[in-house]
Amino acid sequence: MQIQSSFSLKKFNTFGIDQTVEAFVSVQTEEALKEALALKEFPTKFILGGGSNLLLTRPIKGLCIHINTKGIRLIKETKNAVIVEAMAGENWHDFVNWSISQGYGGMENLSLIPGNVGTAAIQNIGAYGVELKDIFDSCSAIALSDLQEIEFSLEEADFDYRSSAFKTSAKGKYVITRLRVCLTKENHKLNTDYGAIKEALGDLEPNPKNIAAAVISIRQSKLPDPKEIGNSGSFFKNPVVSLSHFSQLQKKYPTIPSYPVNKTQVKIPAGWLIDCLNFKGYREGDAGVHKNQALVLVNYGSASGNQILSLAQKIQQKVKEEFDIWLEAEVNII
Protein backbone atom coordinates (compact mmCIF):
# COMPACT_ATOMS: atom_id res chain seq x y z
CA MET A 1 0.00 0.00 0.00
CA GLN A 2 1.51 3.28 -1.16
CA ILE A 3 0.48 6.27 0.98
CA GLN A 4 1.41 9.70 -0.37
CA SER A 5 1.67 12.79 1.82
CA SER A 6 0.42 16.34 1.11
CA PHE A 7 -1.31 15.07 -2.02
CA SER A 8 -3.12 17.39 -4.46
CA LEU A 9 -6.65 16.31 -5.37
CA LYS A 10 -6.81 18.52 -8.46
CA LYS A 11 -6.95 15.54 -10.83
CA PHE A 12 -9.36 13.66 -8.57
CA ASN A 13 -12.30 16.10 -8.60
CA THR A 14 -14.16 17.14 -11.74
CA PHE A 15 -14.19 20.81 -10.69
CA GLY A 16 -10.40 20.68 -10.95
CA ILE A 17 -9.96 22.40 -7.59
CA ASP A 18 -6.34 22.37 -6.45
CA GLN A 19 -6.82 21.34 -2.83
CA THR A 20 -4.55 19.07 -0.81
CA VAL A 21 -5.13 16.16 1.53
CA GLU A 22 -2.84 15.19 4.41
CA ALA A 23 -2.37 11.64 3.07
CA PHE A 24 -3.69 9.75 0.04
CA VAL A 25 -4.01 6.12 -1.00
CA SER A 26 -5.80 4.49 -3.93
CA VAL A 27 -7.21 1.00 -3.32
CA GLN A 28 -7.93 -1.58 -6.03
CA THR A 29 -9.38 -4.37 -3.85
CA GLU A 30 -11.79 -4.65 -0.95
CA GLU A 31 -8.99 -6.19 1.12
CA ALA A 32 -6.83 -3.10 0.53
CA LEU A 33 -9.81 -0.92 1.41
CA LYS A 34 -10.25 -2.67 4.75
CA GLU A 35 -6.51 -2.40 5.40
CA ALA A 36 -6.60 1.34 4.74
CA LEU A 37 -9.68 1.82 6.90
CA ALA A 38 -7.92 0.00 9.77
CA LEU A 39 -4.89 2.33 9.82
CA LYS A 40 -4.82 3.80 13.31
CA GLU A 41 -2.27 6.53 12.52
CA PHE A 42 -5.02 8.23 10.51
CA PRO A 43 -8.12 8.35 12.73
CA THR A 44 -9.85 10.59 10.17
CA LYS A 45 -10.72 8.95 6.84
CA PHE A 46 -12.04 10.74 3.75
CA ILE A 47 -13.60 8.43 1.14
CA LEU A 48 -13.25 9.55 -2.48
CA GLY A 49 -14.96 8.06 -5.50
CA GLY A 50 -15.03 9.73 -8.92
CA GLY A 51 -14.91 13.22 -7.42
CA SER A 52 -17.79 14.28 -9.65
CA ASN A 53 -20.17 15.49 -6.96
CA LEU A 54 -17.71 17.36 -4.82
CA LEU A 55 -16.68 20.96 -4.18
CA LEU A 56 -13.48 21.25 -2.14
CA THR A 57 -13.20 24.51 -0.19
CA ARG A 58 -10.43 23.62 2.30
CA PRO A 59 -7.48 21.26 2.83
CA ILE A 60 -8.52 17.75 3.95
CA LYS A 61 -7.14 16.31 7.16
CA GLY A 62 -6.42 12.61 7.65
CA LEU A 63 -6.24 9.86 5.04
CA CYS A 64 -8.05 10.16 1.70
CA ILE A 65 -8.97 6.67 0.44
CA HIS A 66 -9.64 6.65 -3.29
CA ILE A 67 -11.98 3.78 -4.23
CA ASN A 68 -10.60 2.31 -7.47
CA THR A 69 -12.08 -1.20 -7.41
CA LYS A 70 -13.14 -2.59 -10.80
CA GLY A 71 -15.33 -5.40 -12.07
CA ILE A 72 -18.79 -6.14 -13.49
CA ARG A 73 -20.47 -9.55 -13.30
CA LEU A 74 -23.82 -11.24 -13.84
CA ILE A 75 -25.35 -12.39 -10.54
CA LYS A 76 -28.73 -13.79 -11.54
CA GLU A 77 -30.64 -14.33 -14.76
CA THR A 78 -34.25 -15.17 -15.57
CA LYS A 79 -36.14 -15.22 -18.84
CA ASN A 80 -36.95 -11.51 -18.71
CA ALA A 81 -34.41 -9.94 -16.36
CA VAL A 82 -30.90 -9.98 -14.94
CA ILE A 83 -29.24 -8.79 -11.77
CA VAL A 84 -25.82 -7.32 -12.44
CA GLU A 85 -23.18 -6.35 -9.89
CA ALA A 86 -20.57 -3.64 -10.36
CA MET A 87 -17.71 -2.68 -8.09
CA ALA A 88 -17.88 0.76 -6.49
CA GLY A 89 -14.84 2.09 -8.39
CA GLU A 90 -16.30 1.39 -11.83
CA ASN A 91 -17.04 4.49 -13.89
CA TRP A 92 -20.83 4.90 -14.03
CA HIS A 93 -21.05 5.66 -17.76
CA ASP A 94 -18.80 2.69 -18.54
CA PHE A 95 -21.24 0.54 -16.58
CA VAL A 96 -24.16 1.94 -18.59
CA ASN A 97 -22.32 1.28 -21.86
CA TRP A 98 -21.62 -2.29 -20.76
CA SER A 99 -25.31 -2.88 -20.01
CA ILE A 100 -26.33 -1.48 -23.41
CA SER A 101 -23.77 -3.70 -25.16
CA GLN A 102 -25.34 -6.72 -23.47
CA GLY A 103 -28.80 -5.74 -24.73
CA TYR A 104 -30.10 -4.92 -21.24
CA GLY A 105 -32.60 -2.15 -20.53
CA GLY A 106 -33.08 0.16 -17.58
CA MET A 107 -29.92 2.28 -17.48
CA GLU A 108 -30.16 4.07 -20.81
CA ASN A 109 -31.65 7.32 -19.46
CA LEU A 110 -28.76 7.52 -16.98
CA SER A 111 -26.11 7.69 -19.70
CA LEU A 112 -23.16 10.07 -19.44
CA ILE A 113 -23.73 10.96 -15.79
CA PRO A 114 -20.25 11.62 -14.36
CA GLY A 115 -18.93 9.74 -11.37
CA ASN A 116 -18.50 6.19 -10.14
CA VAL A 117 -20.85 3.36 -9.23
CA GLY A 118 -20.47 3.67 -5.46
CA THR A 119 -21.32 7.35 -5.30
CA ALA A 120 -24.25 6.81 -7.70
CA ALA A 121 -25.99 4.94 -4.89
CA ILE A 122 -25.21 7.61 -2.30
CA GLN A 123 -26.64 10.32 -4.54
CA ASN A 124 -29.52 8.34 -6.04
CA ILE A 125 -28.49 9.77 -9.39
CA GLY A 126 -31.19 10.52 -11.89
CA ALA A 127 -31.84 12.00 -15.31
CA TYR A 128 -34.61 12.20 -17.89
CA GLY A 129 -37.33 10.69 -15.73
CA VAL A 130 -35.30 7.79 -14.29
CA GLU A 131 -33.50 7.44 -10.96
CA LEU A 132 -31.11 4.80 -9.67
CA LYS A 133 -33.75 3.59 -7.22
CA ASP A 134 -35.85 2.47 -10.20
CA ILE A 135 -33.31 -0.25 -11.05
CA PHE A 136 -31.69 -0.75 -7.63
CA ASP A 137 -31.60 -4.29 -6.27
CA SER A 138 -29.16 -4.01 -3.34
CA CYS A 139 -25.67 -2.89 -2.42
CA SER A 140 -22.84 -4.05 -0.18
CA ALA A 141 -20.98 -1.78 2.20
CA ILE A 142 -18.31 -1.94 4.87
CA ALA A 143 -19.28 -0.63 8.31
CA LEU A 144 -16.64 1.77 9.58
CA SER A 145 -17.33 0.74 13.18
CA ASP A 146 -16.11 -2.86 12.85
CA LEU A 147 -15.13 -3.26 9.15
CA GLN A 148 -17.82 -5.91 8.68
CA GLU A 149 -19.72 -6.16 5.39
CA ILE A 150 -23.42 -5.45 5.35
CA GLU A 151 -26.05 -5.50 2.61
CA PHE A 152 -28.66 -2.81 2.02
CA SER A 153 -32.00 -3.60 0.39
CA LEU A 154 -34.03 -1.06 -1.56
CA GLU A 155 -36.05 -0.27 1.54
CA GLU A 156 -32.97 0.08 3.73
CA ALA A 157 -31.26 2.37 1.20
CA ASP A 158 -34.13 4.82 1.82
CA PHE A 159 -33.82 6.62 -1.51
CA ASP A 160 -35.25 10.08 -2.00
CA TYR A 161 -34.70 12.83 -4.58
CA ARG A 162 -30.88 12.99 -4.95
CA SER A 163 -30.57 11.43 -1.52
CA SER A 164 -30.34 8.12 0.32
CA ALA A 165 -29.67 6.68 3.75
CA PHE A 166 -25.98 7.15 2.96
CA LYS A 167 -26.51 10.94 2.94
CA THR A 168 -28.84 10.98 5.95
CA SER A 169 -29.25 8.36 8.70
CA ALA A 170 -26.22 6.27 7.64
CA LYS A 171 -23.98 9.19 6.62
CA GLY A 172 -20.32 8.60 7.50
CA LYS A 173 -21.00 5.09 8.79
CA TYR A 174 -20.42 2.94 5.69
CA VAL A 175 -18.33 2.66 2.54
CA ILE A 176 -20.23 1.22 -0.42
CA THR A 177 -18.25 -1.54 -2.14
CA ARG A 178 -20.65 -3.14 -4.65
CA LEU A 179 -23.90 -2.18 -6.35
CA ARG A 180 -26.46 -4.55 -7.85
CA VAL A 181 -29.11 -3.45 -10.33
CA CYS A 182 -32.04 -5.28 -11.91
CA LEU A 183 -32.22 -4.82 -15.69
CA THR A 184 -34.57 -6.12 -18.37
CA LYS A 185 -33.66 -8.49 -21.22
CA GLU A 186 -36.86 -7.87 -23.16
CA ASN A 187 -40.15 -5.99 -22.78
CA HIS A 188 -38.13 -2.98 -21.68
CA LYS A 189 -39.88 -0.21 -19.73
CA LEU A 190 -38.75 2.69 -21.89
CA ASN A 191 -39.03 6.30 -20.75
CA THR A 192 -39.00 8.79 -23.61
CA ASP A 193 -41.42 11.42 -22.28
CA TYR A 194 -38.91 13.52 -20.36
CA GLY A 195 -37.02 16.41 -21.92
CA ALA A 196 -36.15 16.25 -25.61
CA ILE A 197 -35.64 12.48 -25.93
CA LYS A 198 -38.43 11.98 -28.49
CA GLU A 199 -37.11 14.84 -30.59
CA ALA A 200 -33.56 13.50 -30.42
CA LEU A 201 -34.75 10.01 -31.40
CA GLY A 202 -36.46 11.28 -34.53
CA ASP A 203 -37.50 8.30 -36.65
CA LEU A 204 -35.26 5.85 -34.78
CA GLU A 205 -36.82 2.92 -32.95
CA PRO A 206 -37.16 3.64 -29.20
CA ASN A 207 -34.92 0.97 -27.70
CA PRO A 208 -32.24 1.11 -24.95
CA LYS A 209 -29.38 1.64 -27.40
CA ASN A 210 -31.06 4.48 -29.30
CA ILE A 211 -32.38 6.15 -26.15
CA ALA A 212 -28.87 6.07 -24.65
CA ALA A 213 -27.50 7.68 -27.81
CA ALA A 214 -30.24 10.35 -27.68
CA VAL A 215 -29.53 11.12 -24.02
CA ILE A 216 -25.79 11.37 -24.71
CA SER A 217 -26.43 13.74 -27.61
CA ILE A 218 -28.69 15.97 -25.49
CA ARG A 219 -26.29 16.05 -22.56
CA GLN A 220 -23.29 16.82 -24.75
CA SER A 221 -25.15 19.73 -26.37
CA LYS A 222 -26.00 21.26 -22.99
CA LEU A 223 -23.34 20.21 -20.52
CA PRO A 224 -19.59 20.93 -20.57
CA ASP A 225 -17.10 18.07 -20.51
CA PRO A 226 -15.29 18.15 -17.13
CA LYS A 227 -12.08 17.25 -18.97
CA GLU A 228 -12.33 20.57 -20.81
CA ILE A 229 -14.05 22.86 -18.28
CA GLY A 230 -14.10 22.00 -14.59
CA ASN A 231 -17.64 21.33 -13.35
CA SER A 232 -19.72 18.93 -11.32
CA GLY A 233 -22.79 18.71 -13.51
CA SER A 234 -25.97 20.05 -11.94
CA PHE A 235 -24.94 22.14 -8.94
CA PHE A 236 -28.43 22.61 -7.48
CA LYS A 237 -31.39 20.31 -6.92
CA ASN A 238 -34.63 21.10 -8.71
CA PRO A 239 -36.84 22.59 -5.97
CA VAL A 240 -40.18 21.12 -5.00
CA VAL A 241 -42.88 23.64 -4.06
CA SER A 242 -46.53 23.55 -3.08
CA LEU A 243 -49.21 23.98 -5.72
CA SER A 244 -50.32 27.22 -4.07
CA HIS A 245 -46.78 28.64 -4.23
CA PHE A 246 -46.51 27.56 -7.86
CA SER A 247 -49.84 29.18 -8.70
CA GLN A 248 -48.59 32.50 -7.31
CA LEU A 249 -45.41 32.25 -9.38
CA GLN A 250 -47.42 31.33 -12.48
CA LYS A 251 -49.33 34.61 -12.28
CA LYS A 252 -46.09 36.56 -12.68
CA TYR A 253 -44.32 34.00 -14.90
CA PRO A 254 -46.97 32.30 -17.10
CA THR A 255 -44.37 30.16 -18.91
CA ILE A 256 -42.72 28.76 -15.77
CA PRO A 257 -42.24 25.01 -16.34
CA SER A 258 -43.09 22.33 -13.77
CA TYR A 259 -43.36 18.58 -13.27
CA PRO A 260 -45.96 17.02 -10.94
CA VAL A 261 -44.57 15.33 -7.81
CA ASN A 262 -47.86 14.44 -6.12
CA LYS A 263 -51.33 15.93 -5.65
CA THR A 264 -50.04 18.88 -3.65
CA GLN A 265 -46.50 19.55 -4.97
CA VAL A 266 -44.66 20.26 -8.21
CA LYS A 267 -40.99 20.33 -9.17
CA ILE A 268 -39.58 23.42 -10.89
CA PRO A 269 -36.38 23.24 -12.98
CA ALA A 270 -33.69 25.12 -11.03
CA GLY A 271 -31.95 25.98 -14.30
CA TRP A 272 -35.01 27.89 -15.46
CA LEU A 273 -35.09 29.96 -12.26
CA ILE A 274 -31.40 30.79 -12.55
CA ASP A 275 -31.65 31.60 -16.25
CA CYS A 276 -34.60 33.87 -15.52
CA LEU A 277 -32.24 36.01 -13.45
CA ASN A 278 -29.77 36.28 -16.35
CA PHE A 279 -27.05 34.22 -14.68
CA LYS A 280 -26.43 32.01 -17.72
CA GLY A 281 -22.91 32.81 -18.92
CA TYR A 282 -22.23 34.97 -15.85
CA ARG A 283 -18.65 34.97 -14.62
CA GLU A 284 -16.64 36.17 -11.64
CA GLY A 285 -12.98 35.58 -12.43
CA ASP A 286 -12.60 31.88 -13.22
CA ALA A 287 -15.83 30.93 -11.42
CA GLY A 288 -18.88 31.06 -13.65
CA VAL A 289 -22.24 29.77 -14.82
CA HIS A 290 -22.10 27.77 -18.02
CA LYS A 291 -23.27 29.55 -21.16
CA ASN A 292 -25.56 26.71 -22.25
CA GLN A 293 -26.90 25.43 -18.93
CA ALA A 294 -27.58 27.73 -15.98
CA LEU A 295 -27.70 24.78 -13.59
CA VAL A 296 -23.98 24.10 -14.11
CA LEU A 297 -21.33 26.11 -12.28
CA VAL A 298 -17.88 25.92 -13.86
CA ASN A 299 -14.23 26.47 -13.14
CA TYR A 300 -12.64 28.17 -16.14
CA GLY A 301 -9.15 27.48 -14.88
CA SER A 302 -7.91 28.51 -11.48
CA ALA A 303 -11.03 29.24 -9.44
CA SER A 304 -10.89 28.15 -5.82
CA GLY A 305 -13.62 26.14 -4.18
CA ASN A 306 -14.56 29.15 -2.08
CA GLN A 307 -14.91 31.34 -5.17
CA ILE A 308 -17.33 28.84 -6.72
CA LEU A 309 -19.17 28.55 -3.41
CA SER A 310 -19.46 32.34 -3.21
CA LEU A 311 -21.04 32.41 -6.67
CA ALA A 312 -23.43 29.61 -5.69
CA GLN A 313 -24.49 31.55 -2.60
CA LYS A 314 -25.11 34.67 -4.66
CA ILE A 315 -27.39 32.67 -6.98
CA GLN A 316 -29.22 31.13 -4.01
CA GLN A 317 -29.85 34.57 -2.52
CA LYS A 318 -31.12 36.07 -5.78
CA VAL A 319 -33.46 33.14 -6.42
CA LYS A 320 -34.78 33.42 -2.87
CA GLU A 321 -35.43 37.14 -3.28
CA GLU A 322 -37.22 36.78 -6.61
CA PHE A 323 -39.11 33.48 -6.26
CA ASP A 324 -39.13 32.83 -2.49
CA ILE A 325 -37.40 29.50 -3.21
CA TRP A 326 -34.15 28.37 -1.60
CA LEU A 327 -32.06 26.28 -3.96
CA GLU A 328 -30.38 23.34 -2.24
CA ALA A 329 -26.93 22.34 -3.44
CA GLU A 330 -26.78 18.92 -5.07
CA VAL A 331 -22.99 18.66 -4.77
CA ASN A 332 -21.26 17.84 -1.50
CA ILE A 333 -19.43 20.91 -0.21
CA ILE A 334 -16.36 20.06 1.86
Task: Return the C-alpha torsion angle 136, 137, 142, 144, nearest 10.
Answer: 50
Q: pLDDT in tens for each of the 334 residues of the chain? A: 899 999 999 999 999 999 999 999 999 999 999 999 999 999 999 999 999 989 999 999 999 999 999 999 999 999 999 999 999 999 999 999 999 999 999 999 999 999 999 999 999 999 998 999 999 999 999 999 999 999 999 999 999 988 999 999 999 999 999 999 999 999 999 999 876 898 899 888 999 999 999 999 999 988 899 989 999 989 999 999 999 999 999 999 999 999 898 999 999 999 999 999 999 999 999 999 999 999 999 999 999 999 999 999 999 999 999 999 999 999 999 9
| Residue 41 annotated as catalytic | no
- Among 99, 234, 258, 304, the active-site one is 234
Q: Which DSSP state fits 154?
A: H
| Residue 180 annotated as catalytic | no
**Amino acid at the residue 21:** V
- Among 162, 178, 180, 219, the active-site one is 162
Over its C-alpha atoms, the chain yields an Rg (Å, rounded) of 20
> Which pLDDT score, from 0 to 100, does residue 65 have?
97
Alpha carbon distance 183, 76 (integer Å) = 10
| Residue 162 annotated as catalytic | yes
Q: What is the pTM of this model?
A: 0.90
What domains lie within the chain, and their CATH numbers?
A: 4-67 (3.30.43.10), 72-221 (3.30.465.10), 225-333 (3.90.78.10)
Kindly report the three-state secondary structure assignment for every residue of 178-231: EEEEEEECCCCCCCCCCCCHHHHHCCCCCCHHHHHHHHHHHHHHHCCCCCCCEE
**Amino acid at the residue 258:** S
- For residue 315, CA distances in Å to 74, 277, 320 come to 45, 9, 8
